[in-house]
Chains A and B, each alone.
Chain A
């Protein structure tokens, strides 16, 4: 158990819909990262937050947004969903940032029908 929790574990929705994925980092960790893992794209870094502020942005679509709240949990919002958004979404946390081990949650499996 990494100490990072993600909810829900599974999510099935329809095209055009909006969903919210939630992540609680390990106790004491200030950084949260979001990743998308799919068969054709591999593991893609989406975005990082540090202590409530956006720190780094990767291949995140404009339809996607994220935030980190004062209690340090984070949410990833996916809107106008397309079939191609079906993937595993991982959250990871680390103490602060560069060079540190990331601890991954178990992931949320999203299926868009």
Chain B
């Protein structure tokens, strides 16, 4: 069965510092992978997704993620954090066999001034 693990439920970075949010997945077949962001009192919105076209995926707001099959990872990065990046970030995998979407437990990003 597919699963997603997000390391670190809370991450704090200084404004202007590198953002790195970790996601590892388990899958027996090539998965579809997603990063979503949730701002306070809002629904989730897509940041980026991997669908096997390219291993380095660029998303909105300067975020990108790299698919590493050997490490079963899909970590999210942003070179320079902005205060507006403070939110909760979810990694998700879509299981082609069962149609289920499995979300990680989320990482709450705090950006310090």
Task: Give A37 to B98 CA distance when docked, in angstroms.
Answer: 21
Please report the total number of B residues contacting A with Cβ < 8 Å: 22
Closest to A4 in B: B43
Residue A84 at the chain B interface, CB threshold 8 Å: no
Residue B63 at the chain A interface, CB threshold 8 Å: no
- Verify A55–B51 contact, CB threshold 8 A: no
Interface residue tally of chain A, by bracket? 20 to 34
* Residues in A38-89 with C-beta less than 8 Å from chain B: 42-43, 45, 48, 50, 55-56, 58
* Residues in B76-113 with C-beta less than 8 Å from chain A: 90, 94-96, 98-103, 105-106
Residue among A43, A48, A90, A100 with the highest chain B CB neighbour number at 10 A: A43
With A42-B106, A43-B90, A43-B106 as known contacts, state yes or no: A101 contacts B46, CB within 8 Å. Answer: yes
With A43-B90, A99-B32, A104-B45 as known contacts, state yes or no: A33 contacts B105, CB within 8 Å. Answer: no
Contacts of A103 in B (CB 8 A): 45-46
Task: Give A106 to B94 CA distance when docked, in angstroms.
Answer: 22
Nearest-Cβ distance from residue B107 to partner chain A, whole angstroms: 11
Task: Give A107 to B38 CA distance when docked, in angstroms.
Answer: 12
Task: Give A69 to B45 CA distance when docked, in angstroms.
Answer: 25
Task: Give A58 to B103 CA distance when docked, in angstroms.
Answer: 12
- Verify B99–A97 contact, CB threshold 8 A: yes
The residue from B94, B96, B100 contacting A58, defined by CB atoms under 8 A apart: B100
What 5 A-B pairs have minimum CB-CB distances, sorted nearest first? A104-B43, A99-B32, A56-B99, A104-B44, A43-B103
Interface residues of A (CB under 8 A from B): 2, 4, 33, 35, 42-43, 45, 48, 50, 55-56, 58, 90, 92, 97-107
Interface residues of B (CB under 8 A from A): 32, 34, 36, 42-46, 49, 51, 90, 94-96, 98-103, 105-106
